Each structure stands twice: as C-alpha cells, then as structure tokens.
Amino acid sequence: MSKKVIVIGSGPGGYPAALRLKELGAEVSIVEAWDFGGTCLNRGCIPSKAFLDTGHRVHAFDGLRKLLKDGSGASFSPDMLDWEKIKARRSEVITKLRTSLEKLFQARKIEVLRGRAAFSGPNEITVTGPQGAVKKTFDAAILAAGTRPSFPPPFRDYQERLTDSDRVFDLPKLPKSLLIVGGGVIGLEFACFFNSVGVEVAVLELLPDILTGEDPQVTRAVRSSFEKRGVKFHLGKKTVKISAEGPLKSVELEDGTSLQAEEILVGAGRAADLTGMGLESIGLAWDRRGVKADAQMRTAVPNVYAVGDVNGISLLAHSASRQGEIAAENIMGASHAFDDSIVPKCVYSWPEVGSVGLNKAQAEAKGLQVKTARSFYLGIGKAVATDETEGFAQLVFDAADETVLGAQIVGGPATELIHVLALAVKLKLKRKDLREIIYAHPTMAEAIHEALAK
C-alpha cells in the first residue's frame, strides 16, 4: 500500500523531497503558504544572483575603459542605471523558474495545497487557505517551512522602518548610502552588489571578523578586496542606539562612532518560521533555531521529519535539497544520513569564495596534524589573460597520509571549482590522486593543480 506523505513548504528542501517521494511511489501532497520555490527562489538565492549579475555587468562595462581610445570617456555612472528595470529583470527570472516548478508538480501529479498548515493530530493537518480549511491525513510529514529574517536587538524595535534580505529587492529607489548589519554571506553579497552600482556601503559586524568559520586567509582576502573598492567595515562593535526618523537613518556604536545612511539593511541571520503550525499539539518542541532533527532528518515525533533551514543543521539551499531527498528515501524504507562535512559553502560576491571540509584551524582543533598547500591566481595563465588574478586555492591535508581534509578557494569561479574538492573530501582522496588528474590549460582550475605541486 502506498504511503501518504505531506510536505510542508515548496522551497529547496520541500520540492526535492516531494519529487523523490513521487519517484519512490508515495502519494504526495505539498503545502505552500506563499510562493512556489520558497525563500531561495523568491527572496534569496536566485534574486540576489540576478542583482549580482547586474553588478558584474557594471564591473565589466567600467573595465572597458582600459581598451578604449584616449578621450573616449566611456565609464559607468550610477545615474545610468534604471532601478525599476533591475527589479523587473529579477522578477522575470523568478517567474520563469517558478512557472517551471509549478509545471513539474503538475506533470508528476503532486497535489498542491495553498495555505498555512497546522497539525491537528499526529497523523492529520489542517490547511487554511483560498480553498477554506481542508483536513488531510498522512502516514508521514516533512517540515520544510524555512525561515524568516531575524532582527537582533536593538534593530528589532525598528524593523518596520528598516529593510531586510526579503524586502530589499523592492526598495522604491536605489539608495545613495546603505548600512548593512551582518558580515556573513547575506550581508557581503548585498554589500558587493550595492557597492558595484555606486552606493556608499558600510558593514556592521558584532563579531571580530566577517564570514565566521572561514579560514583567516579567506576572510582577510575578501575584506581587503571589499575595502579597496570602498566598502567600510566596523567589526567587533555593538550598536547601542538607532534613529530611523528623517531622510537619513543612523546608528551609534558602543565606541561612540556615529554612522548615517539612507537605508539600513539587517542581514544578521534568520529564524525558523513555525508559528501557528500546532507543533506543540503533537509534542514537538521548537525555538528560533527550528526543530531538532537527527542525521536521518527524523524529529522527536517518529513520523515527522524536518529538512532545510528549519532544522538548523546547515543553512544552505543545497543542504536543504539533499536533506529533503534523504527524508523522502528514509520515509520509504531507506536508512540514509546527511553528511555536513562534504557540503560546499559558497559566497557569490567578487571575489567568490568556495570552501568544503575542514580548514587548518578546524582540523587542528580535532587533534589532527595537517599540511596546507596554496597557489595564487597571479601565477595562472587564464587568470592573467582574463584579468582575474585576485585570490588563491588552498588545500588542507592530513600530514600522516596526505588525505584531503578540506579546501578553500577565493576568486575566479570559486563556487564552481569547489565541487572538485568536495568530491575529494567525500571519497577521502589523497594528494597523489588529485595530482594524477590532467587539468586543462588554460583554465582557472589549474590553480588547484599548482597548489598540489607545492
């Protein structure tokens, strides 16, 4: 007899789970309160990359000056940009992908329920939406409800007058100046985009450095690159006062520094979006970090699984997708586990950042003796030919047998190249294994080969 499974949320955790369940013969219903594709497609990964692509085009356009005849005078000015067209292009990208996803659900005959889901029993939910209140029974359920922007104090008291990583895409105009709260991936990607289109950008980070958890060499390279382009960083300082009145908003830091900008974007993390879902009624505890789940994606309630940001294990879209597939397979009788150690972590600014596995400090904290090898793009032919010499590739090995423990790449197509090294970590390849690969010339991937040769 086919299992009846409810998937709550159609983002990068929910829709792969629903598709995999259908492949395995389950009867699947998917619940979505907002838009197909969740935060990633509608307010996160995809729209932010559409914005960053605009920034890349501006960067390339401005770089043409080196190749023009003297006196040609072509250069970029922020006044040349049409903010409404930038937003419209982002909307077009989202619509195309969302429509494709909707058609995929239709083709696979996955039932779609619009509205908010709430558990009304251990094997029943009520979906309240345009169709009224509909009760559905299930054998298993997958929570993939995602997260919402989080406003830490003192910004929490002003959130209606500030913007966040969801609402920034709909600002009525391109601001002349912007304060970004948070020096993580979200904050840096927006800092990169807005700086590229002529906005004066400052980043506030409560911790001593940006990109917490990354190798110090990585954070140093990224911060230096941003600073050369005019982005200002205020690190290790607490915000003690905010004023959101008038044409300029302002903050005061604990050291007395006062900063002003037209807009303040709070990108200091996200919180689980589980309010009103009735989890308490089935004995499932949760907090702002979400619901606890094990490596098989099981929660404390045997037939309820949690995937993606809502379980707090790995707040990345591609982690959510793999977790969704694992939950689906385990519901249908498998016993698979999610391995966070092989998840590529990416920053899509420029320079790009891709990392996987352990960095030197993390490996040493585990008691391992390690060796590192690094090469710089300055010595790579393709990088020099394309004027992309910023950054490096670094590998971390177990000193005992030269097994690849991790890698970090800054610059070039780092978010693409890192998959080669993710495979090495997954398969526990050794240095000699990677050296035996023939790397095409000229390519940016030769940075990996050069590091291995050192």
Domain limits, the chain:
4-49+84-148+271-338, 155-268, 342-452
What are 33-91's pLDDT values in tens digits? 988 999 999 999 999 999 999 999 888 887 777 788 876 666 677 788 999 999 999 99
CA distances from 69 to 59, 60, 63, 65, 72 (A): 19, 17, 13, 8, 6
Amino acid identity, position 410: V
> Which CATH number fits the domain 342-452, given the four candidates 3.30.1330.10, 3.40.50.170, 3.30.390.30, 3.30.450.20?
3.30.390.30
Tokens 């998937």 map to which residue? 7
- What lies within 8 Å, CB to CB, of 379 at 6+ separation is 450
Given a contact cutoff of 8 angstroms between Cβ atoms, the answer to whether 254 and 381 are in contact is: no
pLDDT at 74: 64
The CB density around residue 70, as the number of other CB atoms within 10 Å, is 5
Which residues have a catalytic role annotated? 441
Task: Give the domain 4-49+84-148+271-338 fold.
Answer: FAD/NAD(P)-binding domain (3.50.50)
Tokens 């302002």 map to which residue? 250
The CB density around residue 25, as the number of other CB atoms within 10 Å, is 10
Instruction: Indicate the CATH number for domain 155-268.
Output: 3.50.50.60
Residues constituting the chain: 454
Measure the CA–CA gap between 434 and 430, rounded to whole angstroms: 7
One fold for both 4-49+84-148+271-338 and 342-452? no
Q: Which positions of the chain have pLDDT values less than 70?
A: 1, 71-75
